[in-house]
Amino acid sequence: MATKKTLVVVLGPTAAGKTQIAIQLARQLNTEIISADSRQFYREIPLGTAAPSKEQLASVPHHFVGNLSLQQDFNVSRYENEVLALLEKKFQEHNVMILTGGSGLYIDAVCKGIDPLPDPDPEIRRDLQKTWQHSGIEGLQQQLQQLDPEFYEQVDRQNPKRLMRAIEVCLQTGRKFSELRQNNPQKRNFQIFKIGLNLPRKQLYARINQRTDLMMEKGWLEEAKSVFPFRHLNALNTVGYKELFAFLEGKIILEKAVEKIKTNTRRYAKRQITWFGKDKDIQWFSPDDMEEIIQAVQSFLKSALPSPE
């Protein structure tokens, strides 16, 4: 009987050290890494998305890192289909593959599938676009909070596309978006082992602040200038770029922009922790616990071996 294929998921909040742990695991297991960070897909913005460095990319094969242009349309449904197709191919070469990132929705898509939702209603979408134009992101946030407070607590509240999609599903179906996303998970033909990385809140926030400063030193502002003409694209409507664009538009000073990046990144990390905290299948570790992480993975793989007949 063949060994059952295993997807090891390395997840956690931003700045928790997922990239390095995933690379160490991939080396240990002689396998490859799939990114589940929805911002690292875009090749034009590696600095601001803390994408793996050239050296890290060269050390282990990576997939879904820098594979798209900002101007290409992409969504979680396409991601699910493309990753599953890649896994089917790669599991012919490897018994284990690694999926790593902090985008909970994208991780869930691979592990248990995306629930079928109604196609967007053009009229509702136009009304929501008007709400966004007239009332800003706050107008969308307020509407979603009224319609579905549970999903409001989970969603990236600075992402208008996510907000509008949730609102329009609520309006079309008369049900909460969070309820429609809680259908039975789809069966996968591989087993899944989830490793969560986290740190005490004070330590995590300090790492976020330090990483932001380092990214600025490495030239993040220059990167933001290079994509400034595309600032209307949804891929750039995210923490870090919004604040730097506000500086480039003369709305705030640079020091204020950097401080806002740190604050908004800490808030984003808090939402990630809330999202992942509901998943009881995750085994949590500190990023300093590499030996324990390797032991946990090896123990899982050993326990999953088929019994001799």
Average pLDDT, the chain: 91
**Per-residue DSSP letters for 29-94?**
HT--EEE--TTTTBTT-TTTTTPPPHHHHHHS-EESSS-B-TTS---HHHHHHHHHHHHHHHTTT-
110 in any annotated domain: yes
The total number of structural domains that make up the chain: 2
CATH of the domain at 73: 3.40.50.300
pLDDT, average across residues 28-36 = 97
pLDDT digits (tens, 9 = 90+) for 133-166: 888 889 999 999 999 998 898 888 888 888 998 9
**Per-residue DSSP letters for 224-291?**
HHHHGGGTTSGGGSSTTHHHHHHHHTTSS-HHHHHHHHHHHHHHHHHHHHHHHHT-TTEEEE-TT-HH
Is residue 68 a contact partner of residue 230, using CB atoms and an 8 Å limit? no
pLDDT digits (tens, 9 = 90+) for 73-127: 888 888 999 999 999 999 999 999 999 999 998 999 999 987 767 777 778 888 8
Query: Taking 90 as the threshold, does the pLDDT of residue 309 lie above it?
Result: no
- Residue 305: the pLDDT is 64
Does 128 share its domain with 104? no
Does 147 share its domain with 195? no
- Residue 74: the pLDDT is 85
Closest CA to 230 of 65, 43, 70: 70
Does 109 share its domain with 75? yes
CATH of the domain at 151: 1.10.20.140
**Residues pairing with 10 in the sheet:** 100, 195
pLDDT digits (tens, 9 = 90+) for 266-297: 999 999 999 999 899 999 999 999 999 999 99
- Residue 247: the pLDDT is 98
